[in-house]
Structure 1
Amino acid sequence: MPLNFIRLLVFMLYFAAIAFVASTAILQSGLGLSTMGSCRAAIYTCLVFYVGSKVLIQLFLVERAHAIRFRLKRRRQDWLWLVSVAIIVIGFGSIAGIAFAYPIAHLASKDRRCRIGVPPKVTVPLITYDILINAALTGVFVALLRPLLKFRTSRKLPFYHAAAATELPVREDSRRLAEHGIELTQSVRHSASHAAIDTAVKSMKLLVYKSLVGSIAMLIPTMVNIGLLLKWEGQEQGWLCFTLCTLDVTWSVMVVHFLMLDRGDEEGG
């Protein structure tokens, strides 16, 4: 299976999640977060991998929407792809810049435990931006699939690659049968073509359902994580911040993996 850009993003997300877990384990269990230096290293590590994973997830959603149009437009010619990437880079870049400029990392005077986090001027824009971008990209993806879901009534394929996915297999089967002296009648070809289209429609309806469920599922741990951070005014204990961020990132990776599964994988085929 070729490693296209969307699969590369998924592998990068897997790597970021594993690296994040390994880094937090070293900082928490190895260094103990008992010094100011290790405490500041903890917040920077958390910011790098947490924001980085969010950017990778949003780029995955952008690339998935572009995959519907890739037969029609290349990335440099797809204004939707260009605008989406620009919004993600500028938006998350600005939020990350503020977070790195004003991190919270100190040893509490009462118990000398590391407290890390980011101020509300970072957490509020982060969760708002994450929700809006996630909802917008999922909406775009579903909107681009809507014309394809009209196959059942129109029997017309609006996109080239969709046509290739239904008509070409039928033609290929006809050619192979003809080589063995078997000719398909026009009605058989017509029925086979419609059956292929119906199968494609069912797959795309499942894809829409999975996209909506995945979009909501991704946001739940993020909202809980940021909500707790706001409650404690951006000063969580280091181990707690690591735990919540790790759960958030790991859950997002699981959702992306769920979105990447096709029906054959889900059925064990």
Structure 2
Amino acid sequence: MDNGASSPELPQQATGPDSLEIMSELVSLACLTIMASALGAKTKRERLVNLTYGRTLVFLVYILSWAFSVTSMVSVSTNNFNYTSCTLAMMSCDVFYAGSKIVMYAWLIERVHLVTAVRTTRLKSWQYRFHIVLLLPYVAIFVLMLTFRNIYLLDTGECIIGLQWVASIPLMCYDFVLNLYLTYLFVIPLINVSRSTTCRSTWKETRLYKLTKRTLIASLVCLLVSLANVLSVVITRGHMRGLVCLTCCTLDVTINVVTIHWTHTIDD
């Protein structure tokens, strides 16, 4: 019996994934394969008794990046018309993606210590302690990321996530300045050696020179990739389709893993 009241119309759900979803899932699958191969190659040669602090950081970068890629791939295939999945996608960015960045910074700081203070322990090095303090502002930025974020569904069911300017701009500035500063610290030893005619030929053959040069490249890659990724969030004002945001971040962490894996082979 019709009582004159009409029930609200629910949005019509899509019958299948669109082209962007398929592309995103293929990218995620390729990235997962690359990271799993890197992690497998690394663990095959490692023993717990030989696990140093620097190598532990490398494993943490691998694991956090892999965890982010897994959760983002699941979210991409489920977040249409699903606010819970959309929220989990944003939480994955806040936890796994941001966590991999923090560990990446810690790894670069460790590399700076190896290059500039070879015979000094970490806790006795004022430079190392200062660099660890430089990571503390990320705590405030993390709070901003949790507070000022966008999570909503369009009428078409598409998941939209991102950071508002009050969170994305401080993140971009901090990320750029810290990466640029760490990159500068690797440039200085190379410049000093290039100016020295006495030790140039011998030092270029040492393991320390190769470590410095490779880490400089890793730092530059981290700088450019992170800047491009965060800049896209700023430009879109935090209103980016979830699968696009997750795919960009997946590519970001995968490039970092590949770069670290190539850089860290000099220790093996």
TM-score, length-normalised on structure 1?
0.72
1:111 aligns with 2:147: no
Partners in 2 of 1:6 and 1:205 — Cα distance?
A: 18
Q: CA deviation at 1:127?
A: 1.8
Q: Identify the residue that residue 185 of structure 2 maps to in structure 1.
A: 140
Q: In structure 2, what residue type is equivalent to 1:21? A: S
Q: Identify the residue that residue 217 of structure 2 maps to in structure 1.
A: 213
Q: Identify the residue that residue 119 of structure 2 maps to in structure 1.
A: 72
1:255 aligns with 2:250: no
Contact preservation (8 Å) 1:116, 1:236: yes
Deviations 1:61-113 (A, max 9, x none): 1111112356532222111111111111x1211111100112210012x3221
Q: Identify the residue that residue 202 of structure 1 maps to in structure 2.
A: 205
Contact preservation (8 Å) 1:152, 1:201: no
Which consecutive residues of structure 1, in runs of 5 or more, have no partner in the other structure? 156-196
Aligned to 1:111, what secondary structure does the other structure show? coil
1:42 aligns with 2:86: no
* Structure 1 residue corresponding to 2:176, chosen from 131, 138, 146: 131
* Structure 2 residue corresponding to 1:100, chosen from 142, 146, 152: 146
Closer/same/farther in 2, CA of residues 229 and 71 from structure 1, 3 Å limit: closer
Closer/same/farther in 2, CA of residues 32 and 23 from structure 1, 3 Å limit: same
Instruction: Report 1:162-241 matches (<5 A).
Output: 198=202, 200-203=203-206, 204-241=208-245
Partners in 1 of 2:93 and 2:80 — Cα distance?
A: 13
Closer/same/farther in 2, CA of residues 209 and 72 from structure 1, 3 Å limit: closer
Aligned to 2:198, what secondary structure does the other structure show? helix
Partners in 1 of 2:110 and 2:216 — Cα distance?
A: 17
Supply the RMSD in Å over aligned alpha carbons.
Answer: 2.6
Closer/same/farther in 2, CA of residues 221 and 150 from structure 1, 3 Å limit: closer
Partners in 1 of 2:130 and 2:239 — Cα distance?
A: 35
Deviations 1:140-197 (A, max 9, x none): 2443567777886169xxxxxxxxxxxxxxxxxxxxxxxxxxxxxxxxxxxxxxxxx8
Larger radius of gyration: 1
Q: In structure 2, what residue type is equivalent to 1:53? A: S
Name the count of aligned residue pairs. Answer: 219
Q: CA deviation at 1:224?
A: 2.2
Partners in 2 of 1:235 and 1:210 — Cα distance?
A: 36
Q: Identify the residue that residue 29 of structure 2 maps to in structure 1.
A: none
Partners in 1 of 2:258 and 2:85 — Cα distance?
A: 30
The 10-residue stretch of structure 1 (140-149 or 229-238) with the greater mean CA deviation from structure 2: 140-149
Contact preservation (8 Å) 2:193, 2:199: no
Partners in 2 of 1:70 and 1:215 — Cα distance?
A: 18
Q: Identify the residue that residue 60 of structure 1 maps to in structure 2.
A: 107
Q: Identify the residue that residue 82 of structure 1 maps to in structure 2.
A: 129
TM-score, length-normalised on structure 2?
0.73
Q: Identify the residue that residue 73 of structure 2 maps to in structure 1.
A: 25
Question: Going by fraction, where is helix more abundant, 1 or 2?
Answer: 1
Q: Identify the residue that residue 177 of structure 1 maps to in structure 2.
A: none
